[in-house]
Structure 1
Amino acid sequence: IRTVEIIDKYKPAFLYFDWWIIHEAFKPYMVKLMAYYYNQGVKWGRNVAVCYKHDALSFGTGIVEIERGSFAEAKPYPWQTDTAVARNSWCYTDSLDYKSSYEIIATLIDVVSRNGNLLLNIGPKADGSIPDGDRRILMDLGRWMDVNKEAVINSKPWRRSKEGPTEDNDGQFADGKEKVYTEKDMRFTAGHGCIYAFVMKYPEDGNVNIRSLGKSDNKDVPDFFGIIKNVSILGSDSELTYMTDDKGLHLKSIVKDREFPVVVKIETK
């Protein structure tokens, strides 16, 4: 009844449920609630969605949620991860173990490349102010998004979500320590007639090889048959040269700001 009141009063576009709806006692009520909410969405003329965890709903009736974790590969359906700026708490404490801004940005990239959505939690203080640690991460994330948003917003997974040696955990509660990426680690999205390659650790010498964009005369061998029209780096005006062979797309460009992942934009015909 309380949730129905929320639906009727506020017409939410999205309902998020934590783990407790997995209990059997909730099952008959959840079916009725889902039917009511989705039918109300039709009446309102808007798309609505429900997020759930642990198979609490029948697959396909809502958005799958993974707490502090991820799928290891791209999925053909939308999903979401919820995580926090701190490793040890969802709310403000005086002993927060903050993640680095790099880790938060890398998490966003990992999730988006696999058709997911990132729900990022911060913990305001009792007076409503945002702690300095939270603010720093949000500001860094915002600056990075200002430069690279076209590779994230309204993008889709490419047919390959990643390349490189760093392994990904499949499942929840996988953020116990920061993942260490190498210069060979890439993540991919696509959109706007382009492929976007996120170089997770951009090399100091500017030499990048994207193996997934290699070409070959053997149609049974290559990963990539597209025609590359142009290659650029988002937010950089440095000189860039590139060529392709059966080993990949090779590019060279010195990038000044390498603190966070760098996005290579590959325009295709």
Structure 2
Amino acid sequence: MGGNSSSSGLTAPLLATPWRAISWGNERELLQYMKNFQPQHEEVNAIRVLLYGPNGAGKSSFINSVNSVLQGRMTHDALASNIMSDQSFTRKYQTYKIKKVGRGNFYPFVFNDIMGLEDGDERGVRAEDIKLAMKGHVKDGYKFNPSFSISNDDPHYNSSPSISDRVHVLVCIYSANVADMRLSVLQKMREVRETASDLGIPQLAILTNIDAACGETETNLRNVYRSKHLQRKMRDFSCSLGIPMNCILPVKGYSYEIELDPDVNTLILSALKLIIDFGDDYADTL
């Protein structure tokens, strides 16, 4: 799923009843959960979430959307490129923290954004760099090089990572508005998944651009779990990469809006809660 974009606003018949339950209107409860959250492991300062996926899937946009929801206003801290770009916008390994509103501290979870996976041997981030990042060996500011991976004598190589440096949950970001994923990109994603599995790191996937991919969802976001088209997209991706359906979460990110929307927030916060919970459970075993 990383080739040409599918027709924007595709309309497909709706299911009579949603195939997954979600509590619309519980935005306030989810926000309170995030405000109260603290890692179970006392040595873990923050749950580290590593985002990866094909170029243009919306990794930076997802971080921006989460930040906007938690800030209660539109923000753009993680610079995002136009989704139609054919090369990765993110070049450096960077940790994104989210400030708590009205307080001088941060939420106890962070996001790491990496260069996108691209078709070809010397394009996009190398799978080996993602593996090393998962183990905590890559420091902030490392500039990804498609031709070779970071070496242990690089100043951005962390030879003695702490528990907090390690990745606690791996999240694949991919777009619902893309037709076919190139085989070389899919193979790189499988490599990353295998390494995460070997390390015991929990894995989830975020399906972005659900409004652009489905006209019924664009009209009413609450149709997301009644959309046959989106359900099929998720099943296909689950089969391709091996991520279970209950670990694939559809969201609509903020792209053109200037005000927040409760239904958009609910999907983002529901996904974020599962991400943080999975990561926290893993971190507590370290």
Structure number with bigger Rg: 1
Q: Which has the higher contact order (CA 8 A, sep 6+)?
A: 2
Q: Is TM (by shorter chain) over 0.5?
A: no
Bigger strand fraction: 1
Bigger helix fraction: 2
TM-score (ref. length: structure 2) = 0.29
